[in-house]
A and B are shown apart, each in its own frame.
Chain A
């Protein structure tokens, strides 16, 4: 009898402990967005920032930007992902574009991936008949980009039982749309190694 009471009491305590434990909120902390992230060897935020910063600096020092009187118009093509893992390459190009735009020395036009919104807006203003003809945007006045930026990211992965080595290679080019000349080109290499 006594043992049975003790068993009931013990079970009740356990349930109580579980209930209290589940109801508590997780601890959240803000970290440094530019801090080094080494969770695993996958493509991470530190890689993104490193690549974007290196490419922006190199492009701003190119003769295309330095020699032109007016900021050259550039459009961005998607960066092809040649790695075996999923990488949102548009995040890389978006970061590069934002940094270049903030410098004020390069102007960007609407990229291919953004054309649907552009076309929809033009249709809405010019063909719906709802807008004042004096204030509506006119079709056929979009500025063409003289240059385009395109590139790819590739990786080489080597793995043993205890070691995993990943080598990322990010390659970016600036091409003259009119002549087809490659005006600028640079690459950024990153090596990450994880050991058990």
Chain B
């Protein structure tokens, strides 16, 4: 045990010594770091040194007082206090506290630091010129259906309980050979309980149930996109517009979608909304014949709005309608199976053509390229350069022997009439 104690004691002495040395080293290192941070702040900071920061005071008469140079503060006490406080912290924290030992320096740094803090301003991304995002067709489906519910239930229960029997008439036990004798008369009593329950329920509910849903229809505007591409526009794919729970008519708010960035960097967005879809199935007798025409027709009416995504200005607005039909000739009660794909194709073609035509009619400000379909629908014919301009007219005079003449100058005013 003594050996153990003797063994332990030097170790404890060594530990204590090493702890003292290490704590001294730490104190020294932290002190040096605090001094270094002060000197670093004085050298690297763009601000003037703390001792040279002028203190500006405004007087009541508006005259700015002359700056007074403060003497260098005695930072020893403050450093020691701060040193004790930040001994468990990091080096950066200790350096910060060391710079805040003087009140004037702290005030100056607090005032000037926000002005010098770098503010990152992200400029808006430039829009792609002549680019159009074409949305899928937003549609609002509204269903109304009649409902009728009639219920009737009936429940009946019957419960009967009867209890009847004799009471009294007890017989005394025989005593000394005497015959037993009745002690009390016999009476008959009874109770009858009857319980009956009946429960009837009847309910009738009827009315009109109204269901509204919002969504998008895809695959209708492919021809419009193709026409825009052929005409030289850049078509941007827009993000789908998903309906939320309890969605209202704000589903059609295109401004919210623009702000949300659904259309990327497109300069314009062509937003289509389906106004009505009509499906007609008819069969009519052809006059003068014994035959009937069986016809199924789809027609679609949509509303288009071309909106500038930067200014939210409506650049064009129009309606377009398309229809497609399938027809069959047959006798009365013929078995007619319509060709849905044929109807849909006709509908899309006619709808796309009308939409393209009206779109091109209302795009005067876009840098249109007269190619493809745009040239077909362009209402303004491009005139050849110089046609109709008198300044470009040259007058030639025929020379002798039918040789090509030379251009002569004339002062006669010329008037050019277009055909």
Starting from the known contacts A115-B286, A119-B329, A140-B327, 7 additional A-B residue pairs (CB-CB under 8 Å) come to A113-B288, A116-B288, A119-B286, A122-B329, A123-B291, A123-B329, A127-B329
Interface on chain A toward B: helix, strand, loop, or mixed SS?
A: helix
Do A119 and B291 have beta carbons less than 8 Å apart? Answer: yes
Across chains A and B, the number of contacting residue pairs, with CB separation under 8 Å, is 29
Complex interface residues of chain B between 273 and 306 (CB less than 8 A to chain A):
286-291
Chain A residues, CB < 8 A from B289:
115-116, 119
Q: Which A88-126 residues sit within 8 Å CB-CB of chain B? A: 111-116, 119, 122-123, 126
- Whether the pair A115, B329 counts as a contact (CB closer than 8 A) is no
* 29 A-B pairs whose Cβ atoms sit less than 8 Å apart in the complex: A111-B288, A112-B287, A112-B288, A113-B288, A114-B288, A115-B286, A115-B287, A115-B288, A115-B289, A116-B288, A116-B289, A116-B290, A116-B291, A119-B286, A119-B289, A119-B291, A119-B329, A122-B329, A123-B291, A123-B329, A123-B330, A126-B329, A127-B328, A127-B329, A127-B330, A139-B327, A139-B329, A140-B325, A140-B327
Which residues of A are found within 8 Å of B329, using beta-carbon distances?
A: 119, 122-123, 126-127, 139
Q: Which residues of B contact A123 (CB under 8 A)?
A: 291, 329-330
Contacts of B354-408 to chain A: CB distance below 8 A: none
Task: Please give, as numbers and ranges, the residues of chain B lying within 8 Å of A122 by CB-CB distance.
Answer: 329
Inter-chain contacts of B291 with A (CB < 8 A): 116, 119, 123
Nearest CB in chain A to that of B329: its residue: A123
Residues of chain B within 8 A of A140, CB atoms compared: 325, 327
- B-contact 0/1 string along A117-143, CB 8 Å cutoff: 001001100110000000000011000
Interface residues on A, range: 10 to 19
Q: Which residue of the partner chain B has the closest CB to A124? A: B329
Note all chain A residues with C-beta closer than 8 A to B290. Answer: 116
A128 to B70, CA, bound (A): 111
- Inter-chain CA distance A51–B291, complex, in Å, is 35
Nearest CB on B from A122, distance (A): 6
The CA-CA distance from A145 to B289 in the complex, in Å, is 18
Docked Cα-Cα span, A139 to B295, in Å, equals 12
**Quick one: which of B286, B287, B329 has the most chain A CB within 10 A?**
B329
Of chain B, the residue at the smallest CB distance from A115 is B288
Expressed in whole angstroms, the Cα–Cα distance for A70 and B287 within the complex equals 28
**What are the residues of chain A within 8 A of B328 when measuring CB–CB?**
127
User: Which 10 residue pairs are nearest across A and B when measured between Cβ atoms?
Assistant: A112-B288, A115-B288, A116-B289, A123-B329, A119-B291, A119-B289, A115-B289, A112-B287, A139-B327, A113-B288
Q: Which of B316-373 contact A (CB under 8 A)?
A: 325, 327-330
Complex Cα spacing A113 to B286, Å: 11
CA A114 to CA B327, docked complex, whole Å: 21
Closest approach, in angstroms, between the C-beta of B223 and any C-beta of chain A? 21
CB nearest to B328 among chain A residues: A127
Interface positions of B from 129 to 148, Cβ below 8 Å from A: none
A171 to B269, CA, bound (A): 63
For the complex, what is the distance from the CA of A66 to the CA of B202, rounded to whole Å? 80
Chain A positions within 8 Å of B327 at CB level: 139-140
Give min CB distance, B287 to chain A, whole Å: 5
Least CB separation from A126: chain B residue: B329
Q: Which residues of A contact B288 (CB under 8 A)?
A: 111-116
Nearest residue (CB) in B for A110 is: B288
Which residues of chain B are within 8 angstroms of A115 by Cβ–Cβ distance? 286-289
C-alpha gap A127/B327 in the complex (Å):
10
Q: How far is the CA of A122 from the CA of B329 in the complex (A)?
A: 8
| Chain A CB within 10 A, most for which of B286, B288, B291, B328 | B288
- Bound-state CA distance A119–B334 (Å) is 15
Which of B243-296 touch A at CB < 8 Å? 286-291
CB distance from A110 to the nearest CB of B (A): 9
Q: Which B residues are in CB contact (< 8 Å) with A114?
A: 288
CA distance A75 to B290 in the complex (A): 20
Nearest CB in chain A to that of B290: its residue: A116
Note all chain B residues with C-beta closer than 8 A to A126. Answer: 329
- Please, which residues of chain B bring their CB within 8 A of the CB of A116? 288-291
Residue of A113, A119, A122, A139 most packed against chain B (CB within 10 A)? A119
Please, how many angstroms separate the alpha-carbon atoms of A113 and B328 in the complex?
A: 21
List the A residue with the shortest CB-CB distance to B289.
A116
- Nearest CB of B to A15, in Å: 58
Q: How far is the CA of A23 from the CA of B61 in the complex (A)?
A: 157
Q: What is the CB-to-nearest-CB distance from B75 to chain A, in angstroms, rounded to a whole number?
A: 100
